[in-house]
Chains A and B, each alone.
Chain A
């Protein structure tokens, strides 16, 4: 099954290697990985999607937690959440074919962000299937796709769900930190 892990990691050299190495060791292919700054200074947030057995999810989560640079791991699984992916698609287009692509982009609520005499660039945000859909339609309409750049999935739980681990980290009282951290497990 497809697992989606959302994790907060220290923003330091080598941290991504440690995370990636865990999946390498288990011979699990990372389907998608996005990393960027989070709402906490010094912490990056990553969304990692991989294919693994249902039982493996808990073990991966437990193993990620064992990494010293990893502060929080959430296995999103089937929880209500919003997932988005960003795609930039460069398509070969002349002034004769442009308007057809504009129409397609309109339907998919994508934007044209670059335009030259021979090509244009489409920016699109959405779930994976929507992006796949646009690409499919472009191909079927015999437009020549020159480049595709996709960000990979970003996922956030719906509703007022924030990590209590991170809340605890915000506190200055370090003693209290560790207590709250201990208490914070699902």
Chain B
């Protein structure tokens, strides 16, 4: 990370207040934007903010601050910073911290706390936030003295982005912010990063892995989030192309391998296409690259790819043999490991030959399925979410950063919006946090002001954090919002349809008029009800100078297919219905 040194305090030791030390350390760490919400215990820090070249984005709820810092980190690869006061301010961060933890996002959260003299006395707005967040942070610090602030913050930045990244919380008492101490940025530097002692790539393991790859007849690369985290896009592509290995992506792996690449099969798992999951089930070798065999991609452990040898490349030794027993573990940074592995993989014709018959078989298995795909059936006048995703992809050229929420629209986006570039899909995979999309998109837009940014959210999740519309307006951010409005908590309704006899208990949703809601925030908007209107509406949103909200009224009881019911094997998926009343012409493509 670049070290920003336009503050003289970052180079020469100076007497500063703890508050000033907070900002000076952030400046030294290269931070230019933070997301936060002031309050009593963090007020001294806010009082000192104006002296430092840091842009503070005022959020409407601290959960939004955490998601924004998270979205900022996902879109840019830099550490996101969220700030909150003690007590409720700190606890409001919790969902956002857990979201970042489950998806290994580098983030530093700074909270104020009551004065050290009253710590542990249930003082006003006191909560033991380091205790509360213990299992959902990579590490945390409780700082009670001004001289500890810079070392703790610098250590926090190191921990957040080293190894397997994750969120770090630094809780700073009010008196530590108010007192003064000598600030020496260089002296506060943490000890050199200590890699996990179990990380080691054995040469003979590398050789065995290379041999497995050479001899495989039906190999599949499982592309995970680690590819983008490690920046191993080129290496994975080289491995895939050299040995002609088709690639299946996890949800968070999307963007790490270009969607248009002929060897990219698509997304695996619960809502992955049948040919992808079938390829995994029939494979004789799986090469897992920076993915953790989550239950949403394996179905059940006992039925998962039983014929396949498995090579697991990961930076976290605790992931090895956790869900799926593997034959070879290559522990380390994915990029480094692949750099060592690639010279052992020849681009000789043996690999090519073996690969191609396998690839042809996968291609052949696509045919029958894809004609049932919604975008291949004639227009019935109805509007389906898949249409919206498909058109958004087509019209943005797949170049936008898309922040999705959680539920049906998230899966449809993953299926129909084809991401070419890393860090272009911002979504909560591990924790599945509804309300993530809107604030995460704000973070992404702040990190990448020149990129086109879209929010795609359901009518349910959108309302969880809709207050951040005001943040968009206050910061005047050009963010386009697509609400996929089906009047239900759609994914839950789908589960009720499939597994609970269509007992739609507590899933029908009466929502406000989102266009009027946007209007109340000074944000333009438009409702869309038919497929024919989608293109013009998306055009209008993109051309509009300022944020724009599109409220897409889509088919209410549409479901995401294919689907692997929980507890079933990957090949036991519920396929798309052969008869779909939603009929469209192929010309619509």
Using a CB–CB cutoff of 8 Å, the interface residues on chain A facing chain B are 13-14, 17-18, 21, 25, 55, 58-59, 61-63, 65-68, 72, 165, 174-175, 177-178, 181-182, 184-185
Contact = CB atoms under 8 A, between A and B. Distances in A.
B139 interface: yes
A174 B190 CA distance: 11
A13 B139 CA distance: 13
Interface of B: 130-131, 134-135, 138-139, 142, 159, 164, 191-200, 316-318, 320-322
Given A65-B197, A68-B159, A181-B194, A58 B134 contact: no
5 contacts: A62-B196, A67-B139, A178-B193, A185-B197, A185-B198
Given A181-B195, A181-B197, 14 more contacts: A14-B130, A58-B321, A59-B318, A59-B322, A62-B198, A62-B318, A65-B196, A65-B197, A68-B139, A174-B191, A177-B192, A182-B197, A182-B199, A184-B197
A59 B321 contact: yes
A174 B200 contact: no
A14 to B, nearest CB: 7
Contacts, number: 62
B320 A62 contact: yes
A66 B191 contact: no
Nearest to A175: B192
Given A59-B321, A68-B139, A21 B134 contact: yes
Contact of B198 (A21, A61, A175, A178): A61
Contacts of B131: 17
Contacts of A25: 135
A65 B198 contact: yes
B116 to A, nearest CB: 12
A62 B195 contact: no
Contacts of B194: 177-178, 181
Considering residues A14, A25, A66, which has the most beta carbons from chain B within 10 angstroms of its beta carbon? A66
Given A65-B198, A185-B197, A185-B198, A21 B135 contact: yes
B313 to A, nearest CB: 15
A109 B554 CA distance: 82
Nearest to A70: B197
A70 to B, nearest CB: 10
Contacts of B134: 17-18, 21
Contacts of A59: 318, 320-322
Contacts of A184: 197
Contacts of A177: 191-192, 194
A55 B546 CA distance: 55
Contacts of B191: 174, 177
A98 to B, nearest CB: 47
Contacts of B193: 178
A184 B321 CA distance: 22
B504 to A, nearest CB: 35
A159 B438 CA distance: 60
Nearest 10 interchain pairs by C-beta: A62-B317, A62-B318, A178-B192, A68-B139, A63-B318, A185-B200, A185-B197, A185-B198, A181-B194, A182-B195
Contacts of B198: 61-62, 65, 185
Nearest to B317: A62
A5 to B, nearest CB: 14
Contacts of A185: 197-200
A171 to B, nearest CB: 12
A126 to B, nearest CB: 33
Contact of B318 (A18, A66, A175): A66
Contacts of B200: 182, 185
B107 to A, nearest CB: 16
B171 to A, nearest CB: 11
A174 B192 CA distance: 7
Contacts of A14: 130, 142
Contacts of A178: 192-195
A185 B135 CA distance: 26
Contacts of A62: 196, 198, 316-318, 320
A170 B164 CA distance: 27
A9 B320 CA distance: 24
A71 B194 CA distance: 9
A66 B193 CA distance: 12
A58 B216 CA distance: 29
B312 to A, nearest CB: 13
B507 to A, nearest CB: 32
Contacts of B135: 21, 25
A48 to B, nearest CB: 17
Nearest to B197: A185
B229 to A, nearest CB: 16
Contact of A165 (B130, B138, B197, B320): B197
B192 A65 contact: no
Contacts of B139: 67-68
B320 A58 contact: yes
B264 to A, nearest CB: 31
A68 B130 CA distance: 14
B195 A66 contact: no
A25 to B, nearest CB: 6
Contacts of B321: 55, 58-59
Contact of B316 (A55, A66, A175): A66
A78 B496 CA distance: 51
A66 B130 contact: no
A182 B332 CA distance: 11
Given A21-B135, A174-B191, A66 B320 contact: no
Contacts of A17: 131, 134
Contacts of A63: 318
